[in-house]
Each structure stands twice: as structure tokens, then as C-alpha cells.
A and B are shown apart, each in its own frame.
Chain A
Amino acid sequence: MSGRIGSVHIADGILSAPVWAALDAAAIPAIGLAARRTRVEHAPLLGVMGAFVFAAQRMNFPAGLGTSGHLLGGALLAMTLGPGAATIVLTAILVLQTLVFQDGGILALGANVFNMALIGVWAAWIPYRFLAQGKWKNFGYFAAAFLSVLASAAAAMIELRVSGVALNGAVVSISAAVFVTTAIIEGLITVAVMQTIEKMNPGWLQTPDTRPSRAMGLLAGAAVLLMAVGVLFISGAPDGLEALVAQLGLESREVAYFQAPMAEYEARIAGGDWSRKALAGLAGLGMIYILCAGVGRLLVRQRSA
């Protein structure tokens, strides 16, 4: 028996229109911001490091019980290139995986970028930033990789749940066990790789400018962990606020003082049910695109002034 434990690339057609549209809209300005902070001259370096992550994913580590794991690489990239550059490299990898390897969807690209290139990278950077110095170093490497995978998986699970994919306690528990195992493997591989990189050339690692407190690091790591684990388990339960409203019998007392033009993610000006939803999705994307373009131009003008 052999198996492989990997990451979650959400395909098209799985997420509901409001979820993929919202995540596309959230990912676009975030990538724009990361790109703005990345120097164009570094692009060849980042491209080759992206190729390294692809190659690293072909090298298996024995995980026991006939299974093997491989490096996912988000945390390693964050610790060696910095969070902004790592976000750009992981986004490029996700684009290529979507187009060439059919791993993930085009409309779901925003969700995958949000989960892996944004949440995954920053969940790794926070513990690394606070713990990667002194005797806590190896724990910092492990925590960075562990939390990166767990936070990404938790985000994917909640997106699936919000999109209407039915998940009960048993499914969430099994998924959580798989994700925690994957996260532990990622943590152990990352520690092994980072220890060797450190011996070969410590200059390849990003060193945070200041030496922040260890307590803050542990607190930040615990916060990310709590969020990831909490989200995993909440994703199996109904919406908390809606459940509370139902429990208290307040549904009948709901009064709408203002009718939103796209309430329930539907554009009411359109005729049919499908056209309402499709129009609302496209209108939302268009509005966010215009907003991002406007804010971007304003920033450029302010900088050049």
C-alpha cells in the first residue's frame, strides 16, 4: 500500500459563486500589494525558486504505514525569501498548477491563492518572525511549517462549508486528522531542510530586523493555531449567529430597514434565479476591480507627487 499526503487545491465548480467571487476579489489587491513590494530584478531568482518547490514536491519522505509525504514549501519560501516574495512565488506556482497540471480551478484561483499564498505564508511568517532566533529556532521552523499547512487547510474547509458542501462532525474529525498529520510531516521536513541550509549558508535565510519577545511569538503562534483548529471544527456546525437567532426565536422579529441591491447574493434587477446570481457575481467582481484600480492609481499618484 502506498499513498501520498498532499495539499488541497480547490477545483472550479466546488465553491459557490459568492465565495469564489469574494476570494478572487480579496486576492487581487493582496497580490498587487505583494508585487509592489517585490523588485522586478528579483524575478529570475523567484522563478527558479518556484521551480525548486516543484522539484522538492517530487522528492518523497517516508511517513510510515506505507505512506509518503512531500514538502509543500510555503513556509520554506517565506523563511528564505520573505513573505512578500514568497506570496508571489506561490501565486505563480498555483497559476501554473491550474493551467498546466489541472490542479485547482481558474475561478477558484483566488481561493487557492488566499489559502496558500496569503494565509499559508503569513501563518508561517508570524511564528518564524518571533521564534527563529536562539534555542527556540528549531521549534520556530516547525511551528511555521505546521501552522502554514493547518491554517491553509482550515481556510479551505470553511470555504467549502460556506459554499454548501455538507460536512458533519465525523468528516471534519477525519479531515482534521489528515491535515494535522500533513502539517506535522511538513514541519519535520522543513526543520530538516532548514538545519542543513543554515549550515550551508545562513545568508539564505531571512533574518527579522529586530529581536522580538518570545512570549509574543508563542502568543501569536497559539492564536493562529486556535484559529485554524477552531475554524476546522466550526466548519462542521451551522452558522453560529443564525443558530442563535433560531434558538431564541427571533427569526419572526427580523425587520429590514434597508433593502440591499444584492441581498442574498442576488441582483434583483435581473429576471431569472440564475441570471440574478450570475449578475451579482459579475457585478461584485467588477466593483472590486474598479475599486482596486482606483486605489492603485491613487497610491501611484501619491508616491510620484
Chain B
Amino acid sequence: MGPLARRDARAKLAAALVFLVCVGTTPAGNYQRMAALAAVAIVWIAIARAGLFRSLFQASAILPFPLSFGLVSWWVSGDPTLAVALVVRSYLSALVVVLLMSTTTLADIFRGLQSFGAPAVLVLVLQSLTRYLQVVVDQGLRMRRASISRSGNTGRRYSLWRRAGGALAVLFGKSYGRAENVHRAMLARGFQGTFIALRPHALEWRDFALTAVAAAMSVGAAWR
């Protein structure tokens, strides 16, 4: 576990937001600032021991969207500057989100969001969603396999659509039923509208220091 993983989610979220604002307000064509911000991101990945190449690879998942709009923009305007800016800004932003997620658990992020003022019901929905995501996705995939093994992907398009629509409706019904059961079980166990945190967080001076140093580095890299 790297040193960043031990820090409070709120400190990391605040530091990430400052970095993202710095990247998001970098004008097209200012390659010096983009390089400086990239250096800041790489330094923090190294400090976090998050694996540089793995992080760089994971962040590349964002590329299709900015690449397509960048190429369109280049084609229409004839100027590649904006295209480069779109790709670099998106990639750097994604890199920091990868770093944030590799050093923070989702549960901590959700608690951080709540302490930043996110509505309690939204945070509860997020917690329930992540808790049951794999269960429902697995059930959907099992139903899909069962449907294919019974009838294959053959037949007229209309019947394929009816079959797939029916499968989705059944999955909807099963999810609805599961949700009601979960709700009843939670009420029976004394659920009062909040999930109890096993490790309640308290901000330490190290967390404030992390945010201050990270923000100073981001603003320093962007200040020209």
C-alpha cells in the first residue's frame, strides 16, 4: 500500500479537483503547461507507487472520445492545435482519475462525496448499486447464455428482438424482486437510512498537507 492510499478520500478528491481545473483551463497550444501538468501527474503516480505503465494504459480507455472529436475538429478547421489540446487534456484528466481510484476505495470516495454535500439518498443509491452490480450483471449474463443455448441467435429479426426484450423484462422483474427483498431484509436488521462505516474517517494534518502540496504543484505547473 502506497502512502497516498492511507490518506483521507476528501483530501485526495480536493487535490484531484484542483488538478482537473488546472488541466481543464489550459488553453490549446500551450504545450509547456501541458507537459508541466503531465510531469505533476507522473510524480504523484510514482509517489503513490500505483504503477506508471499500468496507469498510463488504464487512462488510455478515455481516448476514443477526444480522438474522434479532435480529428473532426482538425478536419473542419484545418488546425490541429485544438485536436491536440482535446486529447492531451482528456488523457491527463483520466490519468488523475485512475490515480485517485487506485489509491482510494469506492466506499471511501462515496463517504467523501457525502461530506462534500452530495445528497444522502444519492450516496445510498451509489452504495447499493456497487454492492449489487456484479450480482445483477452476472444474472443477466447467465440469462443471455441460457437464451442462446436454448434457441441460439437464429430466427427472424422480429423474433430475436421479442426474445431479447422478454429477457430484459424478466431481468427487470428479478432485479425488482431482489431489491424488495434486500429492502425488507435491511429494515428487519435495523437499517435507518445510512450504512455504518467500519473505519470512520477523521482528517489529519497530513491530509491537509497532501491537498496543499498537490494543489500548489498543480497551480505552479499551470501558472505561466
Bitwise interface map of A from 163 to 183 toward B, beta carbon under 8 Å scored 1, else 0: 011111001000000000000
Q: Are B171 and A165 in contact (CB under 8 A)?
A: no
- Bound form: Cα–Cα A71–B165 in Å: 10
Write the nearest CB–CB distance from B75 to chain A, whole angstroms: 8
Instruction: Name the one of A96, A167, A277 contacting B126, with C-beta atoms under 8 angstroms.
Output: A96
* B172 CB-CB contact with A under 8 Å: yes
Q: Are A59 and B140 in contact (CB under 8 A)?
A: yes
* A88 CB-CB contact with B under 8 Å: yes
Instruction: Name the one of B76, B125, B161, B164 contacting A50, with C-beta atoms under 8 angstroms.
Output: B125
Write the nearest CB–CB distance from B1 to chain A, whole angstroms: 20
Q: Which residues of A contact B132 (CB under 8 A)?
A: 47-48, 51
Question: With A40-B193, A192-B165 as given contacts, are A62 and B157 in contact (CB-CB < 8 Å)?
Answer: yes
Most interface-central of A88, A107, A166 (chain B CB within 10 A): A166
Q: Are B179 and A200 in contact (CB under 8 A)?
A: no
Write the nearest CB–CB distance from B79 to chain A, whole angstroms: 8
Q: Is the interface of B mostly helix, strand, loop or mixed?
A: helix
* A41 CB-CB contact with B under 8 Å: yes
Write the nearest CB–CB distance from B130 to chain A, whole angstroms: 7
Bitwise interface map of A from 244 to 281 toward B, beta carbon under 8 Å scored 1, else 0: 00000000000000000000000000001111011001
Instruction: Name the one of A14, A96, A197 contacting B86, with C-beta atoms under 8 angstroms.
Output: A14
Q: Which residues of A contact B131 (CB under 8 A)?
A: 47
Q: Which residues of B contact A101 (CB under 8 A)?
A: 61
Question: With A43-B125, A56-B168 as given contacts, are A278 and B93 in contact (CB-CB < 8 Å)?
Answer: no
Q: Which residues of B contact A277 (CB under 8 A)?
A: 25
Q: Are A196 and B23 in contact (CB under 8 A)?
A: no
Q: Is the interface of A mostly helix, strand, loop or mixed?
A: helix
Q: Which residues of A contact B223 (CB under 8 A)?
A: 272, 274-275
Spot the interface stretch: A4-12, A126-134, A207-215, A227-235. A4-12
Bitwise interface map of B from 209 to 224 toward A, beta carbon under 8 Å scored 1, else 0: 0000000000000111
Q: Are A102 and B119 in contact (CB under 8 A)?
A: no
Give chain B interface residues in 96-143, CB to chain A under 8 Å.
97-98, 100-101, 106, 109, 113, 117, 119-122, 124-133, 135-137, 139-141
Question: With A166-B72, A168-B76 as given contacts, are A98 and B121 in contact (CB-CB < 8 Å)?
Answer: no
Q: Which residues of B contact A302 (CB under 8 A)?
A: none
Bitwise interface map of B from 57 to 68 toward A, beta carbon under 8 Å scored 1, else 0: 011011001100
Q: Which residues of B contact A278 (CB under 8 A)?
A: 21-22, 25, 222
Q: Which residues of A contact B21 (CB under 8 A)?
A: 107, 278, 281-282
Q: Are B171 and A164 in contact (CB under 8 A)?
A: no
Q: Are A48 and B26 in contact (CB under 8 A)?
A: no
* B169 CB-CB contact with A under 8 Å: yes
Q: Are A17 and B222 in contact (CB under 8 A)?
A: no
* B10 CB-CB contact with A under 8 Å: no
- Bound form: Cα–Cα A38–B125 in Å: 11
Instruction: Name the one of A32, A89, A106, A282 contacting B119, with C-beta atoms under 8 angstroms.
Output: A32
Q: Assuming A42-B183, A50-B129, A102-B59, what are 10 further A-B pairs, CB within 8 angstroms?
A: A38-B121, A40-B124, A43-B121, A45-B182, A49-B179, A99-B97, A100-B106, A105-B90, A160-B69, A274-B25
Task: List 13 A-B pairs, Cβ < 8 Å.
Answer: A13-B88, A14-B89, A17-B25, A36-B119, A48-B129, A54-B137, A96-B133, A105-B62, A105-B93, A166-B73, A200-B173, A204-B176, A272-B224
